[in-house]
Amino acid sequence: MKLAIRYRWLICLYLIFLLCLVTDMAIAEEGYDHDHGPEPFGLDWSRGWFEPAIHSHLNVRQTPYIHPFITEPAFTRRDLVLNYNYRDVAEQNEHKIEAELEWAFTRRLGMIVEVPYSFVDPHEGSAINGLENVAISPRILLAEYDRFLLAGNLEIETPTTDSDRGLAENETALAPSLSMWADLGHWWTLNTQSGMEYTTKSKQSELFVRTSVIHTLGTPAHNVGHTDQDHMRHGLPPGFLSFIIETDLAVGLSGDEDGNWSAEGLLGLNFGLAENMDLRAAYVFPLSQSQALNNGITCGLIRHF
């Protein structure tokens, strides 16, 4: 029975991917704009709700939008993110394959769907594998300026049939958060995400703060011309390289982890493989003595629609 349900999930993922491809081919017919788009709406709440989504890889100042590894950015595009994660922790080795679909419906409204599949190999005992909790995150772009974006997210994590095997918490969790993106100039950008995760059954809560600093090699004047509209229509030119530094801090507020905290860091690279695809990899390491993590790696692809 569980095996059948697992295959249904995989079929659903495949159908979602096909739907994305079909939508991608229909974008040209529907007038979906990949350009810079209209001027930012600032804090004008009368704009953006029903305006068509704009898939932009650059802001109006020609600064690239680069997706971090851990931090959920304030910008919402139409991307499929595929990741492989390996973590060497105190009592086991963990392998995870994760598919994340980010979809902008309008300039303001978007949705993120995350489906992780884990392989856990404990130092003692038998290995297990299966689906972790599936997450759905509706989001709203709250503020939009030339050099600043602010978005609100509500992640809803629901258990699967494999959750009761110890792969994830076997209960629903809610995680409201705010994401911020800032253009620091000279192709340096700052991403932050802060919020709280709350489990509905065990009543545990946790504060999290994630930060990423990204620098992309090159300058707008030399790499992306203002008149080269055809080249910017689908993404950045191939060959762009970005360096990513991230931190992830979690503090227990109630429940079993009340008062405990953990932190980890990440050093990563993002390479523009093609105009509509990025290749990336990173090394993960602990920043706190209480962290069970020894080290880890992550790598993957981003497909831009």
Identify the CATH number of the domain in which residue 65 sits: 2.40.160.40
| CA atoms within a 13 Å half-sphere pointing along the CA-CB vector of 26 | 7
**What is the band of 85 on the pLDDT scale with cuts at 50, 70, 90?**
very high
Domain count, the chain: 1
Is the Cβ–Cβ distance between 210 and 192 less than 8 Å? yes
**What is the band of 235 on the pLDDT scale with cuts at 50, 70, 90?**
low
Lowest mean pLDDT among 3-17, 143-157, 178-192: 3-17
Read off the pLDDT of residues 87-121 as tens digits, 9 standing for 90 and up: 998 888 999 999 999 999 999 999 999 999 999 88
Q: What angle do CA 16, 17, 21 make, to 5 degrees?
A: 115
Q: Does residue 205 carry a pLDDT above 60?
A: yes
Who wins on pLDDT, 174 or 125?
A: 174
Average pLDDT over residues 195-208: 93
Lowest mean pLDDT among 44-48, 56-60, 279-283: 56-60
Q: Does residue 288 carry a pLDDT above 80?
A: yes
Q: Which amino acid is at 157?
A: E
**What is the band of 77 on the pLDDT scale with cuts at 50, 70, 90?**
confident
Average pLDDT over residues 206-233: 65
Q: Does residue 229 carry a pLDDT above 60?
A: no
- Write out the two tokens for 46: 């009368």
Is the Cβ–Cβ distance between 139 and 111 less than 8 Å? yes
**What is the band of 2 on the pLDDT scale with cuts at 50, 70, 90?**
very low
Q: What is the pLDDT of residue 83?
A: 96
Rounded-to-integer distance, Cα 305 and Cα 302, Å: 10
Q: Per residue in 116-139, is it b (16+ CB within 10 Å) or e — as a string?
A: bbbebeeeeeeeeebbbbbbebeb
Q: What is the pLDDT of residue 31?
A: 41
Lowest mean pLDDT among 50-59, 68-77, 258-267: 50-59
Read off the pLDDT of residues 24-47 as tens digits, 9 standing for 90 and up: 444 433 444 445 557 888 899 999
Who wins on pLDDT, 13 or 275?
A: 275
What percentage of the chain reaches a pLDDT higher than 90? 51
Helix (H) or strand (E) holding 223: helix 220-223
Q: What is the pLDDT of residue 268?
A: 97
Pairing of strands 109-122, 205-216: unpaired
Per DSSP, the three-state class of 240 is coil
Read off the pLDDT of residues 167-195 as tens digits, 9 standing for 90 and up: 677 789 999 999 999 999 999 999 999 99
Rounded-to-integer distance, Cα 116 and Cα 188, Å: 31
Q: What is the pLDDT of residue 129?
A: 86
**Residue 175 lies in domain:** 2-304
DSSP for 122-150? ESSS--EEEE--EEEEEEEEEEE-SSEEE
CB atoms within 10 A of CB 90: 9
Q: What is the pLDDT of residue 32?
A: 41
Q: Does residue 86 carry a pLDDT above 70?
A: yes
Mean pLDDT computed over every residue of the chain: 82
- Write out the two tokens for 236: 């950045």
